[in-house]
Amino acid sequence: MGAKRVWSTAGVVALTGALLLTSAPTASADYVRDQQWVLDVFSMQDTWAESQGEGVTVAVVDSGVDATHPDLSGQVLKGKDFTGGGNAHEDTFGHGTGMASLIAARGHSAKNASGMIGLAPKAQILPLRTLQNKDDKNLDETWGAAVRYAVDQGAKVINLSFSSDGGSKTLSDGRQAIAYAQEHDVVVVAAAGNSGAVAVDEPAALPGVVSVGAVDKEGNRWEGSNTGKGLTLTAPGVEILAANKNRSPEYGLSTGTSGATAYVSATAALVRAKYPDLTAGQVINRLIKSASFLGHKGLKAPDDEYGYGIIRPYKAVTMDIPKGPKEGPLGKLQLAGASAQAGSAAGDDDSSTRAKKKSSSSSRLFLIGGIAAVVVIGGIIFAVVRSRGNRGNGGPGPGGPNGGTPPQGMGGYPNQPQYPTAQQSYPTAPPGSAPQHPNPYAQRPPHQGQ
């Protein structure tokens, strides 16, 4: 299968996303919400009736999270800065804020009907800052310390929207941190890489880590997404709207496996909230068994390009799926003579972390796409609006009507074991919705590799 037909999450920051604009005859009350095509194809109103991620903390190991963004108000915990240069609520890059918003944004104004909303709007975000700028190297010992800290702070899901630089291997600091998280029943989700390579980057490729590739609105893989054995799941990652206080009016559209990873982390939070008795491995089991190849016929799971399929949040929280073994289908990272259980004091020693930087390999964040692709429209209504009737995606609040004042512009492993997935129809959009794009996500998913 071709190397260049999936979403990307390369170690080098990828400023390759494009903000695509199309004219529309009318403007909706909240075009930011309109841009979130994922809410329609995932039938999130129905999903939120089952779970909104309540009581679950998701750690975002990234560039920090701006807690002042109106759509993230009240969602962001104190967190910790591991760069020695500020605090976890400072995000000069904007990447971490975007990831947090895809996971747990809850909108703003009356009934939270304006702005964007994440897939798990009642989850909380633990921001862990491991780099400051887009050109910074995300060192193994730095993000490893952050992962350990996340575990010790009670995070149940850890989002790693980055991959190794140039396909390099994860060093002992990172590997031990991943093992530490797995031993403490935490779901670790990481991006497969944005280079279009026929190999999943680390740390996503490590055993037990949920590695994520990206697909577009039609359910087809994105060209830049890394493929190969060890790919676990795919999720939307093309033309994804996310919060970004560095843009005007604080949103951007982008493409990449970073966003896809955040969506999988959010879905894991939904499952953990709905089924708090499940182990991390059993949560992963539900994600895998509820995934679908949609219209892609003749594929067998795990597929090198789609893994076990495209996530389906509604099915992940509603399907009748046996718990399965506690360790789950992906197993765990085994370290020879290792100290995965060793305390996380290193996670609190920022000076020690900085002292190691010269000898470590690095990882870099992959931009959720082209945060660089930005369009600012002064007082003119955004042309990108999809004209819809009653979309039913106004948010998790009662009724969820769209409303509010629109902003003034818009920015832009080792081999996994065979694990059968279930053949279930993908949920259609909420009643009364009229998505602009054909919805392949509503097709019956044939050939699930059983």
What is the SS3 assignment for 321-386?
Answer: CCCCCCCCCCCCCCCCCCCCCCCCHHHHCHHHHHHCHHHCCEEEECCCCCCCCCECCCCCCCCCCC
CA distance 87 to 280: 29
At residue 441, the pLDDT reads 63
69 in active site: no
Overall average pLDDT of the 74-95 stretch: 94
Predicted confidence (pLDDT) per residue in 271-308, tens digit: 999 999 999 999 999 999 999 999 899 999 999 999 99
- Higher pLDDT, residue 16 or 144: 144
The one catalytic residue in 161, 258, 290, 292 is 258
pLDDT of 384 reads: 35
132-154 average pLDDT score: 95
Tell me: pLDDT of 241 over 80.
yes
Closest CA to 254 of 394, 410, 107, 393: 410
**258 in active site:** yes
Lowest mean pLDDT, pick from 21-35, 93-107, 199-213: 21-35
Q: Among the options 69, 95, 184, 296, which is catalytic? A: 95
Instruction: Tell which residue, 165, 357, 187, has the closest CA to residue 273.
Output: 187
- CB of 146 closer than 8 Å to CB of 347: yes
Q: 289: part of which helix (H) or strand (E)?
A: helix 280-289
CA distance 378 to 193: 36
Residue from 51, 46, 38 nearest 270 by CA: 51
CA distance 113 to 226: 36
Binning pLDDT at 50, 70 and 90, where does residue 341 land?
A: low
The pLDDT tens digits for 52-77 are: 999 999 999 999 999 999 999 999 99
pLDDT of residue 109: 84
Mean pLDDT of 416-431: 36
pLDDT above 70 (res 244): yes
Percent of the chain with pLDDT strictly greater than 70: 68
What tokens were used for 279?
């182990």
Query: pLDDT value at position 381?
Result: 31
Is 365 within 8 Å of 62 (Cβ atoms)?
A: yes
Class of domain 31-391+402-442: alpha beta
Kindly provide the residue ranges of all beta strands, DSSP E only, lying in 28-152, ordered along the sequence: 57-62, 80-81, 106-108, 114-117, 124-129, 138-139
Q: What is the mean pLDDT of residues 354-382?
A: 40
Whole-model pTM: value is 0.76
What's the pLDDT score for residue 134? 86
Query: Residues 393, 428: contact at Cβ < 8 Å?
Result: no
Mean pLDDT of the chain: 77
pLDDT number for residue 14: 27
Task: Summarize the confidence of residues 380-389 as an average pLDDT.
Answer: 36
The CB density around residue 375, as the number of other CB atoms within 10 Å, is 17
- Active-site residue, selected from the candidate residues 62, 81, 136, 303: 62
